[in-house]
Amino acid sequence: MRIALVQQKAGHDRQDNIKRGLEALDTAAENGANVVCFAELAFERFYPQFRAKPGYEKLAETVPGPITERFMSRARKLGVVVVLNLFERCGDQCFDTSPVIDADGELLGRTRMIHITDYHCFHEQGYYAPGDTEAPVFKTRFGTLGVAICYDRHFPEYMRALGLKHPDLIIVPQAGGIDEWPKGLYEAEIRVAAFQNGYYAALCNRVGMEERLEFAGESFVCAPNGAVLARAAKGKEQILYADLDLGEVERSHARQLFLKHRRPELYREWLDK
């Protein structure tokens, strides 16, 4: 499997952002990518840097809807799997959502962010309801994948819930700022999750200066042994490619040892005390 992470800036012109995203998808496919992934809210300015105001739901759209349908059509034409992230409206609720599109253009389903944060420049509780999709994985033409949207990656329980479904790959759409945490911490977190759960993990980050935040980029892909296979530049638009040997998933320490030796009956007892 060849994966491509599209690390692009989001300007004020939403339609131009979408157009550039589709162009990046074309380029990734031309370069042999089977799975193409986008960062959190890739086609919007990052509006949670401001507190939500009345009418915020007008920023959201349905899934399927205008963005999803354009990428479904292009995925079908190119024969690639696409993982998006956008602001979804469903009835009277809104979610941070990643639609997963198969290589025939079919919308396989969606992952909605479960854990919703709220702190300076990340006022997400005013926009998003907690997700109700649990931790799904999707069988695509090129492998089985799951999604951990940004904040969800901080919760080992969520990363393990995905791992217990035996995906080949976890996609992490992120909005991470420059120097937001101690250097290397976010990368270490994902590397450990990949090692402990026996899957490839690919974090696709936003990039560029916005009103209150500068997003770092530095997207990366790591293997089931925790090794980083590829890393994008800091502060630059880029399509990052990595070739994944899915046989490494079954040969991983997690699949051969850790997951087989779990004692969930004890964990439930401890957590209930």
User: Could you tell me what percentage of the chain is helix, strand and coil, using 3-state DSSP and rounding each to the nearest 5?
Assistant: 30, 30, 40
Q: What is the pTM of this model?
A: 0.96
Q: Which residue has the tokens 């994008």?
A: 232
Q: Find out whether 20 and 39 touch, Cβ atoms under 8 Å.
A: no
Q: Which amino acid is at 49?
A: Q
At 234-251, the pLDDT tens digits run 999 999 999 999 999 999
Q: In terms of Cα–Cα distance, which of 219, 213, 215 is closest to 235?
A: 215
pLDDT (0 to 100) of residue 64? 97
Q: Where are the domains of the chain?
A: 2-272
Percent of the residues in the chain that have a pLDDT greater than 70, as a whole number: 100
Q: Could you say which architecture CATH assigns to the domain 2-272?
A: 4-Layer Sandwich (3.60)
At 83-133, the pLDDT tens digits run 999 999 999 999 999 999 999 999 999 999 999 999 999 999 999 999 999
**How far, in Å, are 11, 200, 206, 208, 221 from residue 233 at the CA level?**
19, 20, 12, 12, 13
Q: How far apart are CA 125 and CA 119, in angstroms?
A: 9
Averaged pLDDT, 185-213? 96
